[in-house]
Amino acid sequence: MKNRKGVIILVTGLALLCLAYGLIEPYFVEVSEIDYASPDIPKAFDGKRIVFVSDIHYGLFYTKDRVSDIAKKVNDLTPDIVVFGGDYLSSDVKSAAPCFEELAKINAPLGKFGVMGNHDHWGHVKDVLGGMAYAEITPLDNKAEWINLDGERIKLGGVGDLWCDQQDIEPTIGDVTEKDFVILLSHNPDYAENMETDNVDLVLSGHTHGGQVTFFGLWAPYTNSGLGQKYMSGLIYLGNTKVYVSRGIGTVVLPIRFFARPEITVINLKAA
Q: What number of residues does the chain have?
A: 272
List residues bridging with 270 in a β-sheet: 37
Bridge partners for 271 per DSSP: 38
Dihedral pair phi/psi, residue 129, rounded to 5°:
-65, -40
Q: Residue ranges of the domains in the chain?
A: 2-271
Note the pLDDT of residue 252.
Answer: 94
- Cα dihedral 129, 164, 98, 22 sign: negative
What are the pLDDT tens digits along the chain (272 aa)?
567 766 566 556 766 777 788 899 999 999 999 999 999 999 999 999 999 999 999 999 999 999 999 999 999 999 999 999 999 999 888 899 999 999 999 999 999 999 999 999 998 899 999 999 999 999 999 999 999 999 999 999 999 999 999 999 999 999 999 999 999 999 999 999 999 899 999 999 999 999 999 999 999 999 999 999 999 999 999 988 999 999 999 999 999 999 999 999 999 999 98
Per-residue model confidence (pLDDT) at position 94: 85
Identity of the residue numbered 21: Y
pTM for the full model?
0.95
CATH architecture of the domain 2-271 equals 4-Layer Sandwich (3.60)
Q: What are φ and ψ of residue 234, in 5° steps?
A: 90, -165
DSSP per position, 84-111? E-S--B-TT-S-SHHHHHHHTT---TT-
- Percent pLDDT > 70 in the chain is 95
Q: What is the per-residue DSSP string for the chain?
A: -HHHHHHHHHHHHHHHHHHHHHHHGGG--EEEEEEEEETTS-GGGTT-EEEEE----BSSSS-HHHHHHHHHHHHHT--SEEEE-S--B-TT-S-SHHHHHHHTT---TT-EEE---HHHHTT-HHHHHHHHHHTTEEE-TT-EEEEEETTEEEEEEE---TTTS----HHHHTT--TTS-EEEE-SSGGGGGG---S---EEEE-SSGGGSB-STTS--S--SSTTTTTTSSEEEEETTEEEEE---SS-SSSS--BS---EEEEEEEEE-
**Per-residue model confidence (pLDDT) at position 262:** 98
Residue 52 β-bridge partners: 83, 265
